[in-house]
Structure 1
Amino acid sequence: MKKKNVVVIGAGIVGSCCALRMACEGYSVTLLDKLKPGNGCSFGNAGGISSASIIPMAIPGIWKKVPAWLFDSDGPLSVRWRHLLKVSPWLLRWIMESGEERSTYSSKALKDLSHDVLSQYKKMLGTVNFNNLIRTTGHLHVFKQKPSSKGDFFVKRIREEAGICFEEFFDRDVNVVEPSLSKEVKYAILINDASYTVSPHRLVNTLVEAFEEMGGNFVQDHAKEVVASEYGVKVNTRLSALEADYVVICAGALSKELMKKDLSKVKLENERGYHVNLVSPNFMPNFPIVSGDYKFFSTPMEDGLRLAGTVEISGLRALPDWSRADILLRNAKRIFPDLSASGSEVWFGDRPSFPSSIPLIDVSPVHENIFYAFGHGHYGMSGAPGTAEIITNMIKGKPQKVDISPFSYSKHI
């Protein structure tokens, strides 16, 4: 019996997980990307992998902080003013999603997507690669004082109801847990159920190597359009055309642009993020440090200390604003006063984000052989294995293990 052919467009963390999962299920899979695997948005993220990644970006009361952030030159949020009119519908939807009922709904969906992320990565990578790439240290969230806003109480409630293990530290105990922190940091939460990868880029490439060992084929080429054909679906690329029984769109922030007609109504926006990688820093923290005051990650990677974060709403074609990377370094020195390094490297990438923080994982409403898996925003590393399982079950017609209605096309328009 001839194997069914699948083309997965996008060789980031989501696409590589989808391709590997379907190759393991016996499909003939081609993974397609104009870049080498892991060289897009997945390259420069903070590396967080966690079943505790269940807090959406839109939480109760957060919209009240936006004006102050926008007028703070060192703030965590920036909107290019010439892009404001175009992005206004997305921002209004984001405000709507910040209500308590909607935020609770989003957190439940994120929990379902990432609840067994570590066991899935271990299965895909194998024990040796898993231990080499992933650290199960927990994440330390730090603050100058114990947060007490409406949103903070919401976050604590969601974590407690989800059974997430965490420990609180106050005053001097904070520096016992992490000696490198400023004495101004008076409160910290250690999320025990959180992990990270020492190299997002190497993680993606290891998954792609496993995919190729299963008979999968990676093709570096630019997908130009996806159209129906007499055989199922055809992907026209810059160099050729690929026929497939099924196509899975995992192209991140470029997914809407690739599928203009089918996805014109979905509320997808790119959130640009930056990182500064400090080469040979004078210390490494014991955990990834998440600054609750300045909204960024400091992750001990294999090639240095990565400072990652900020949200810039700018549009896909905007040139990078490297002052956003400078902000990361300034804020890092506020929580790590003794920080120094022999050098640094900067990067930017575009997160594919929906206002709810819930990705779109569904069959196309137009073509039954085209599937969507994109829009994971800040949670691609945590949500990719679960996404691969959902997509594979959809294509195979198997029952799902979780409620997939939050990921449907209809919820994203």
Structure 2
Amino acid sequence: MSRITTDVAVIGGGVIGLAIALRLRADGREVVVIEPNEPGSGASYGNAGTIADYAVIPVGTPSVLRNAVSLLFDANSPLSIRASALPTLFPWLARFARESLPRRYRQNACRIAELVSGASGAWTEFAAEIGASDLLSAKGCLYLYETQKAFKAAGADIALRRSFGVAQDLLSAGEVLRLEPRLPPFEGGGLFFPGAINLSDPGEVMHRLSTAVRRAGVEFIRAFAQGIARQSKGIRIAAAPFEIGARTAIIAAGAQSRRLAAQIGDPVRLDTERGYHVEFDMAELPIERPVCPTAHGFYLCPMRGRLRVAGLVELGGLTARANPRRIENLAANARRIFPDLGEPSRTWLGFRPSMPDSVPVIRPSRGGRDVILAFGHGHIGLTLAPRTAQMVSALLAA
């Protein structure tokens, strides 16, 4: 087994791990990244490509709790569960139910709001640092409410965002169609988030980020981290055929992080959201900014040379195959908006690390600052990458 020693070992080469590695290298630290796949090729690539400074609402809400049975066990709902995964998911679901109670929900929203505040500005600076400014589009994001009843029902969420200072504009259906004239007519209204930023190609952004990390002098170790343990002289990470010794380890391994955190005495109630997307290649895009038809829980995302349709969360672990029904639902929902889309050019399934309260874990391990936890970002991993890197840097400097 090859032995490697370093100051800091970052376990995980998604957007969180890469952003942390780049920041710590700028701090003057020796850094290696341990990642078995192409860096940034998982959920960091397959997301909706939106820097969502407005995303303060947790997945678990009182409304979701009231409708849990119909939501979780309806394969067509925006949030569903694979029945085969229910026994192993039960502890997570029990905590999710608790976090969806009104008081906890508001507390969680407050914590998320603090994290995402300033996300767009942080990403603008970050993109310039990694040479990706040309892939950012600052045209905001639209939520669509098909009926006046649905628009009115969103009032509590709108008020909560307003209480956190989130910029949001209420639009009539006509005002929405003036922004996006190729959308079909509807009777409700819209919510426009002017501060949101869209990535025209998340995969290319991840490529430029990983290139910037390499140029900064970070070494990449192409291996799967099977184990982590404290020793008298630091942290030992087993990642066959390598053994990595580090003064400090950062666990930023996304959906794989729970296993590693448990090995150093930090059991965390983390589980996996299975996220899907379908893409339609086209020369002329039908929209200029991300659009979310809220009743169906997916995003229409304009990207370079294609329309990506992302969403429909499924709780079901890491090992089950892609659910073809979820993919079919995404394509069918997209054709409800744009009937001429035809068949998808490609499909994708990835895994989001999800906490029951939707609040990421960014803190030292219980055993000390020699291990830092940085995972569980759920739907806001892309949004929070620069902020998470800053927080980890500050933890190591303390």
Category of TM-score, reference length = shorter chain? over 0.9
Partner of 1:233: 235
Partner of 1:401: none
Shift of 1:231: 2.7
Partner of 2:197: 195
Q: Please identify, of 267-276 and 315-324, the stretch whose mean Cα deviation from structure 2 is larger.
A: 315-324
Distance 1:283 1:121 in 2: 24
SS of the residue corresponding to residue 203 of structure 1 reads helix
Partner of 2:365: 364
Partner of 1:393: 394
Distance 1:96 1:24 in 2: 40
Distance 2:318 2:343 in 1: 32
> How many percent identity over aligned positions?
29
TM-score w.r.t. length of structure 1 = 0.89
Q: 2:12, 2:33 within 8 Å by CA — same for their partners in 1?
A: yes
Shift of 1:367: 4.6
Q: 1:278, 1:342 within 8 Å by CA — same for their partners in 2?
A: yes
| Coordinate RMSD, CA, aligned | 2.2
Q: 2:40, 2:210 within 8 Å by CA — same for their partners in 1?
A: no
Partner of 2:161: 159
Partner of 1:95: 97
Q: Which of 110, 133, 136 in structure 2 is aligned with 1:134?
A: 136
Answer yes or no: is 1:7 the counterpart of 2:9: yes
SS of the residue corresponding to residue 260 of structure 1 reads helix
Q: 1:6, 1:27 within 8 Å by CA — same for their partners in 2?
A: yes
Mark the runs of 5 or more structure 1 residues left unpaired by the alignment.
398-413
Distance 1:152 1:172, change over 3 A: closer
Partner of 1:345: 346
Q: Deviations over 1:265-314 (max 9, x none)?
A: 32111010100011116533121011101000111111411000011111
Distance 1:140 1:271 in 2: 24
Distance 1:253 1:64, change over 3 A: same
Shift of 1:222: 1.5
Shift of 1:153: 3.1
Q: Which of 109, 116, 131 in structure 2 is aligned with 1:107?
A: 109
Q: 1:121, 1:130 within 8 Å by CA — same for their partners in 2?
A: no
SS of the residue corresponding to residue 14 of structure 1 reads helix
Q: 2:15, 2:44 within 8 Å by CA — same for their partners in 1?
A: yes
Distance 2:292 2:325 in 1: 21
Partner of 1:66: 68
Distance 1:289 1:342 in 2: 20
Shift of 1:182: 2.1
Partner of 2:327: 325
Q: 1:271, 1:350 within 8 Å by CA — same for their partners in 2?
A: yes
SS of the residue corresponding to residue 355 of structure 1 reads coil
Distance 1:62 1:323, change over 3 A: same
Shift of 1:115: 1.6
Q: Deviations over 1:245-284 (max 9, x none)?
A: 1000000011112343346732111010100011116533
Q: 1:276, 1:329 within 8 Å by CA — same for their partners in 2?
A: yes
Answer yes or no: is 1:217 the counterpart of 2:182: no
Partner of 1:382: 383
Distance 1:111 1:51 in 2: 8
Q: 1:125, 1:206 within 8 Å by CA — same for their partners in 2?
A: no
SS of the residue corresponding to residue 369 of structure 1 reads strand
Q: 1:97, 1:103 within 8 Å by CA — same for their partners in 2?
A: yes
Shift of 1:54: 1.4
Distance 2:188 2:124 in 1: 36
| Number of residue pairs aligned between Structure 1 and Structure 2 | 394
Q: Please identify, of 81-90 and 141-150, the stretch whose mean Cα deviation from structure 2 is larger.
A: 141-150
Q: Please identify, of 241-250 and 62-71, the stretch whose mean Cα deviation from structure 2 is larger.
A: 62-71
Distance 1:282 1:342 in 2: 16
Answer yes or no: is 1:125 the counterpart of 2:124: no
Distance 1:74 1:392, change over 3 A: same
TM-score w.r.t. length of structure 2 = 0.93
SS of the residue corresponding to residue 277 of structure 2 reads strand
Distance 1:326 1:11 in 2: 30
Shift of 1:151: 7.2
Distance 1:381 1:98 in 2: 24
Partner of 2:290: 288
- Give the AA of the match of 1:372: L
- Give the AA of the match of 1:309: G
Distance 2:14 2:111 in 1: 22
SS of the residue corresponding to residue 243 of structure 1 reads strand
Shift of 1:73: 4.1
Distance 1:98 1:197 in 2: 31
Distance 1:25 1:249 in 2: 19
Answer yes or no: is 1:181 the counterpart of 2:183: yes
Q: 1:60, 1:154 within 8 Å by CA — same for their partners in 2?
A: no
